[in-house]
């Protein structure tokens, strides 16, 4: 007669230590997990609590029941600190659908509310952000301290989400705002907290003078909220930013440029153009952004000039703007910026800037760089492949473009080779049939 397999003897003899039991609690066999949970609970060591909480959501119902019972056995005054450290895990159970954990989590919350008030409040300063956030939320939900005291703790906290929790306490139970707390929240270093506090303040009847300073907040979303509110009151938002251009300095001047670009009109274009040559690179960059927002494609000349700015951040911003407004620079314009004295970094910037240029102008620019900048030749094959993939349209080259491409090939035989190896039939026509006139190329069928 065959021997009967005894899993208890296989896994639990000799008796496993705590680490082995923790591993067995995640075994694929439900019987093994159940026995491991029983033995972990019998150790009386609260450090096993995280493993037991994990088994509370086990996929086998008997294991879940034993794990719940084991966790509640540890709910004593000696283990409160451990329960507080596991508070995020308990809260996470509420989001799981394998079982209804609300009653179980409610028992844990009752225990912490009655036995762990001091530990929960101390947990707000935990170095573990998940624990600190869970403790703050628990303290607010269960009113473990005075609302004003909790709000001040949250508003001074280094965690952005904990700070945001304080906004739930800015209003008294009767709905009235607490002015002292609101004033602190409006100057909080975290954007979500300031933004929520501002929206709460604007629900009441607030005079324009109290809202105007927020037009110069360091975050755009705060400025936009203030601008919308003031505009609804009939306040001249654009005029406020326009006036600041004359006397503001530093960061406030940059915000004024943003405001004129966002809310100004045609009369402000000259004011923005003047700042395009400002000594400060940051002012030049912000002026260019504002100017391009007002003019769009009509700002191409200024964007082209900024591509050669001596400060890299300004030139990089110009490349991004060129792409945003879909600027269409010619190969000659871009090549004029790529002088031998300029660093190779300029080339990558110009590639971004000419993203929406005519496809044949882009090809001409790449081949001109190949001809005139030997130090950049190694990058051209890859860029020609990209040109081939993203410029796959039926738009044909003009006679002038064909002539320029033919001249490049005639001047440097290696260009024909690099085009042949990295582009399609459409480009090869310009290389291999270069003696025929443009009209004939466009009308005759392909004989390749």
Give domain status of residue 445, yes or no. yes
- DSSP symbol at 124: T
Residue 227: inside a domain: no
In a domain, 148, yes or no: no
Q: Average model confidence (pLDDT) for the chain?
A: 84
The CA distance from 169 to 140, in Å, is 8
Using DSSP, state whether 171 is helix, strand or coil: strand
Q: Is residue 244 part of a domain?
A: no
Give the span between the Cα atoms of 322 and 310, in whole angstroms: 18
My answer on whether omega of the bond before 14 falls inside 30° of 0, hence cis, is yes
What's residue 109's pLDDT?
A: 96
- The two three-digit tokens of residue 154, written as one number: 């949250």
Give the largest CA-CA distance in the chain: 101
14 domain residue, yes or no: no
Q: For residue range 8-34, what is the model confidence (pLDDT) as tens digits?
A: 665 666 677 888 888 888 888 888 888
> pLDDT tens for residues 320-342?
998 888 888 888 888 787 766 66
Look at residue 314 and give its three-state secondary structure.
Answer: helix
Q: How many domains does the chain have?
A: 1
Backbone angles phi, psi at 234, to 5 degrees: 85, 15
List CB contacts of 232: < 8 A, sequence separation 6 or more: none
403-437: pLDDT as tens digits: 887 777 777 767 767 766 665 555 555 544 343 34
pLDDT confidence tier of residue 121, bands split at 50, 70 and 90: very high
Residue 446's domain spans which residues?
Answer: 362-448
Residue 376 belongs to a domain: yes
Q: Classify the C-alpha dihedral 354-359-365-369 as positive or negative.
A: positive
With respect to residue 441, please indicate whether it lies within any of the assigned structural domains: yes
Is 413 a member of any domain?
yes
Ordered DSSP codes for 362-424: HHHHHHHHHHH-GGGGGGHHHHHHHHHHHT-SSPPPPHHHHHHHHHHHHH-HHHHHHHHHHS-
Query: pLDDT tens across 346-373, in order?
Result: 777 777 776 667 778 888 888 888 877 7
């Amino acid at each position: 007669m065959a021997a009967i397999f005894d899993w208890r003897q296989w896994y639990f003899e000799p008796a496993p230590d705590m680490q082995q039991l923790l591993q067995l609690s995640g075994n694929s066999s439900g019987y093994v997990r159940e026995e491991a949970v029983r033995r972990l609970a019998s150790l009386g060591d609260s450090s096993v609590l995280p493993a037991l909480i994990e088994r509370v959501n086990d996929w086998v119902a008997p294991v879940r029941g034993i794990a719940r019972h084991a966790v509640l056995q540890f709910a004593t005054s000696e283990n409160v600190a451990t329960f507080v450290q596991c508070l995020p895990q308990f809260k996470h159970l509420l989001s799981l659908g394998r079982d209804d954990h609300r009653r179980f989590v409610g028992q844990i919350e009752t225990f912490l509310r009655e036995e762990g008030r001091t530990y929960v409040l101390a947990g707000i300063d935990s170095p573990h952000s998940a624990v600190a956030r869970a403790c703050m939320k628990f303290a607010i939900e269960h009113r473990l301290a005075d609302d004003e005291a909790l709000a001040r703790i949250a508003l001074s906290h280094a965690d952005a989400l904990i700070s945001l929790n304080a906004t739930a306490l800015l209003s008294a139970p009767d709905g009235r705002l607490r002015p002292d707390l609101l004033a602190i929240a409006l100057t909080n270093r975290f954007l979500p907290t300031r933004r929520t506090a501002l929206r709460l303040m604007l629900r009441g009847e607030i005079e324009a003078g109290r809202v105007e300073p927020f037009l110069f907040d360091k975050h755009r979303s705060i400025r936009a909220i203030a601008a919308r509110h003031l505009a609804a009151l009939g306040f001249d938002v654009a005029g406020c930013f326009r006036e600041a251009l004359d006397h503001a300095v530093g960061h406030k001047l940059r915000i004024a440029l943003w405001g004129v670009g966002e809310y100004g009109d045609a009369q402000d274009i000259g004011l923005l153009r003047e700042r395009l040559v400002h000594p400060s690179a940051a002012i030049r960059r912000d002026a260019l952004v504002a100017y391009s927002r007002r003019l769009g494609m009509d700002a191409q000349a200024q964007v082209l000039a900024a591509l050669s700015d001596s400060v890299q951040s300004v030139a990089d911003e110009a490349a991004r703007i060129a792409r945003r407004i879909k600027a269409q620079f010619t190969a000659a314009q871009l090549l004029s910026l790529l002088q031998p004295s300029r660093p190779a970094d300029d080339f990558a910037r110009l590639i971004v800037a000419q993203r929406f240029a005519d496809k044949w102008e882009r090809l001409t620019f790449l081949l001109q760089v190949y001809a005139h900048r030997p130090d950049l030749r190694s990058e051209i094959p890859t860029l020609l492949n990209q040109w081939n993939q993203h410029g796959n349209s039926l738009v044909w080259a003009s006679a002038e473009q064909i002539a320029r491409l033919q001249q490049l090939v005639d001047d440097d035989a290696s260009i024909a080779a690099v085009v042949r190896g990295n582009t399609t039939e459409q480009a090869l026509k310009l290389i291999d049939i270069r003696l025929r006139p443009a009209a004939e190329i466009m009308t005759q069928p392909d004989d390749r």
